[in-house]
Amino acid sequence: MELSKKNLNERLHQIYDVIIVGGGAGGLSAGIYLQRFRLSSLIIDKGKARSFWMQELHNYLGLPPNTPGKVLLQQGKEHYASVDGDFLNAYVEEVIDEGETFAVKVKIGRVNSISAVFRSRYLIAASGIIDNLPPLAEMRNVYDYAGYNLHVCMVCDGYEMTDKKCGFFAGSEASIEEMVFNLSWFTPYITVFTHGSFAVSPNMRQKLQEHGYPLVETQIQQFLGHNHQMTGVELVDGSVIELETGLISMGSHYHNTYLQGINLELKGNNLVTDRMCRTSHPRIFAIGDLKVGLNQVVVAASDGALAATQIWRDIRHSRGARRWEEHLTVNV
């Protein structure tokens, strides 16, 4: 059932088996598995998933290689609804561990918002991350190209950049070190942009020079192009650098503030899990981009299957096998 301000009272007294925070690729996959295990689940999603910004999914088995993330999400949501999953468009503010249950505090609606508390035995954190983009005065200009030929993920879109003139938009020297020389696997025609936001060490300058990668430290005025195809960059001094593609590597924002009251093991900002996606808390699972691993749709969907299956095993073991009542002998 799709929950809203109008009908949420119907569910406030229920204890769900699982509440899933995040309705992207991972959360929807987990929800579908849970419902098919005949467990009760609620997905709470604030919208605009990372999958939503993905304009074309080129590397997912069985889908046409230009499938937009929006289509994947819409079909996933319909699939989840078809197996009777509950879905609420809301923001999870806090999760409190009550012992046997979790209290999940949500804010519903941007205007005239209301608060509510839902409860579950298990929690799946599927709230993902979001990429930091070049902070230009006019962000609309960045959104025009980000996710099209201005990419954020080399594993996803390195292939699309093959032998093209590529702008690498770095957030730190560490991101240059980590990414640029690997990006050269796909294209050696790399220009590195710092947007004037950090200093580059003499060693790195020399390394870039040795590889023939120009370094541009002047601030960016705007991206140039049309019809969502970026064709270059205009700098604040008016000069123009022509490009055919780009890769942004400026770090990410992690959607995990609602878990701050619970002491979970982290590696950097990612949640540490076992191979079934269980975190250091026995009843909290983490899937997709939020956990340590590869940030890919196929991984998030697979994590959803693992977490849901482990939760089913836990609950199944705790409840024991059902009996075929009419074959039981009655002891008088």
**Is there a contact between 149 and 246 (Cβ–Cβ < 8 Å)?**
yes
Phi and psi at residue 190, to the nearest 5°: -110, 135
* Smallest separation (angstroms) from ligand FAD to the CB of 158: 10
Q: How far apart are CA 204 and CA 208, in angstroms?
A: 6
Per CB under 6 A, does 86 bind ligand FAD? no
Q: How far apart are CA 106 and CA 116, in angstroms?
A: 5
Type of residue at 9: N
Nearest to 311 by CA among 269, 283, 290: 283
Q: Which one of 17, 23, 124, 161 is in contact with ligand FAD (CB under 6 A)?
A: 23
Give the total of residues touching ligand FAD (CB under 6 A).
39
DSSP-assigned states of every residue in 246-309: EEEE--EEE--GGGTTS---EETTEEP--TT-B-SSTTEEE-GGGBSS---HHHHHHHHHHHHH
User: Which neighbouring-strand residues pair with 240?
Assistant: 234
Mark residues 33-72: x for contact with ligand FAD by CB under 6 A, - for none: -----------xxxxxxxx-xx--xxx-------------
Q: How far apart are CA 205 and CA 185, in angstroms?
A: 20
* Smallest separation (angstroms) from ligand FAD to the CB of 148: 8
Q: Which one of 17, 288, 308, 311 is in contact with ligand FAD (CB under 6 A)?
A: 288
Per CB under 6 A, does 119 bind ligand FAD? no
Query: Within positions 291 to 320, which residues make up the interface with ligand FAD, using CB under 6 A?
Result: 295-298, 300
Selected range binding ligand FAD among 148-156, 171-179, 186-194, 306-314, rule: CB under 6 A: 148-156
* Smallest separation (angstroms) from ligand FAD to the CB of 203: 31
**Is there a contact between 298 and 314 (Cβ–Cβ < 8 Å)?**
no
Q: How far apart are CA 124 and CA 287, in angstroms?
A: 7
Selected range binding ligand FAD among 18-26, 163-171, 240-248, 310-318, rule: CB under 6 A: 18-26
* Smallest separation (angstroms) from ligand FAD to the CB of 289: 4
Give the nearer residue to ligand FAD in terms of CB position, either 183 or 208. Answer: 183
Per CB under 6 A, does 31 bind ligand FAD? no
Query: Within positions 87 to 116, which residues make up the interface with ligand FAD, using CB under 6 A?
Result: 91-92
Q: Which DSSP category does 236 fall into?
A: T
DSSP-assigned states of every residue in 93-141: EEEEE-SSSEEEEEEE-SSS-EEEEEEEEEEEE---EEE-----S-HHH
For the CA atoms of the chain, what is the radius of gyration?
23
Mark residues 210-249: x for contact with ligand FAD by CB under 6 A, - for none: ----------------------------------------
Q: Which two tokens stand for residue 61?
A: 């088995």
Per CB under 6 A, does 128 bind ligand FAD? yes
Residues within the interface to ligand FAD (CB under 6 A): 21-27, 44-51, 53-54, 57-59, 91-92, 126-128, 131, 147, 152-153, 156, 255, 258, 288-289, 295-298, 300
